[in-house]
Amino acid sequence: MNGFQPALADLDHVLAHAEGVLTELRKQRIFLTGGTGFFGKWLLAALAHANARLGLDLGITVLTREPETFVARHPNFATNAAFAWVRGDTRDFAMPKGHFGHVLHAATATLAGDSPQALFATIVDGTRRVADFARTAGAANLLFVSSGAVYGAQPAAITHVAEDYRGAPDCTLIDATYGEGKRAAETACAIAAREGGLAPKIARCFAFLGPGLPLDAHFAAGNFIRDALRGREIEVASDGTAVRSYLYPADLVIWLLTIMMRGVALRPYNVGSDRAISIGELAETIGRHARVLHRVQKAPGTAQPHRYVPDIARARSELGLEVRIDLDDAIARTLSWHRSLARPALIATGASPRGIAHTHF
C-alpha cells in the first residue's frame, strides 16, 4: 500500500493554477492540522508535488492523534523528508519549537465520532490553541478552514448564499452543534487577531466530490460513487430534491492556498462550486458516467428543497479563483482514479479516525 496519491494530472493542475502562490512558500515551515483527513491528504499530496517540482525546500509539520497509524497507511508521505509528525489533539498539543511561516488549521470533528459537547469543544478550543501557537510561532498567516454550515438553513429565496448573509444555525438544535462551533471558532480568530496581532484568513467550505472522499460514510456523492463502482443501481435514500454543488479537490487546494496567502484577514471567502444540482440529478449524472441505473426511494415532498450552494463572487473578483474542473469532469476523474487502484474501491479511502465534517456532503 502506497497511501493516498492523486492522479498526476490533478497535481499538475494545482501547479498550473497556483504556482505563484506556491513559490511564495519557498523555504517556509508550514504547520498543518487535519492532515489525515480528506482536505489534509490532498494538501499534503499537492505540497509534496510542488516541493519536488519547484524545489521549494518546504518543511511541513503535521499534527495528528495517531501518527504511526497514518504513516503506516501512507508510506509515500512517511518517507518524504519534507514532512514531520507531531502527536496530539488540537486542544492541548505540545507546541513545536521555532518559527513557522504559515499555519493551516484544517482539523475538525464530527457528531459521528464525538458527543455534541466534545464536538463543540474540539472545534472552538482547538482553534484557540492553534491560534495561540500561530502567534507563538510568529506565523505570517493563519488559515482557518470553516464551513458553509455557519449560515444555517439557506432560505428558499436565496439561490446562492453569500458571505454577507447574516443567517445562523438554530442554536437550540443538537444538529447545529457543528455550525455553531465553526461560528464560535471564527469569533475566536477575530479575538486572536485583536489580541495577538495575527492575520487569520477564513475559508468557508461547502461540498466536494473527488478521489479520497469516503465511500461508506455520510456523503451522498461518495455513496453514489461506491454504488457505481460496484456496478449496481445507485440508490437515493431520500426524495432527491435537496440541492448541492460540488467542487473538485484539486480546485479546493488552489482555493485554500490562495486564500491563505492572498486573502484579506477576517474577510471570509466561500469555497465551493456555484453549479447547483439536486441529489437526484447527481445520482443520475454519476449513473450516466458509470453506465448504471439510479433509483429515488421516496416521492418528492411538499416542503421547499433544502439548498446548500455558495455564492463565490467574492473569491472570483478579489482572488481570481475559478471552478476549473466542472462536475462532469470531476465525476469522470473520480471514477477513473478509483478504477486505477489495485485495492478494492469499496474502502472509504479518505476517512480519518474522526471523519469529515458532516456538512461537507
In the chain, the domains with their CATH numbers are 8-209+248-274+311-326 (3.40.50.720)
Distance from C-alpha of 259 to C-alpha of 25, rounded to nearest angstrom: 13
Distance from C-alpha of 205 to C-alpha of 271, rounded to nearest angstrom: 5
Higher pLDDT, 355 or 116: 116
Sheet holding 307-308, edge to edge: 277-278, 243-244, 307-308
Say what the pLDDT of residue 355 is.
Answer: 30
- pLDDT, one tens digit per residue, over 227-247 is 999 999 999 988 999 999 999
> How confident is residue 360, by pLDDT bands cut at 50, 70 and 90?
very low
Residue that is written with C-alpha cell 485495492 in the block: 343
Cβ neighbours for 297, distance < 8 A, ≥ 6 positions apart: 235, 236, 237, 238, 239
- Which amino acid is it at 149? A
Least trusted range by pLDDT, from 109-113, 219-223, 289-293, 298-302: 109-113
Distance from C-alpha of 255 to C-alpha of 241, rounded to nearest angstrom: 28
Distance from C-alpha of 111 to C-alpha of 115, rounded to nearest angstrom: 6
Distance from C-alpha of 9 to C-alpha of 148, rounded to nearest angstrom: 29
- pLDDT, one tens digit per residue, over 200-215 is 999 999 999 999 999 9
Higher pLDDT, 335 or 305: 335
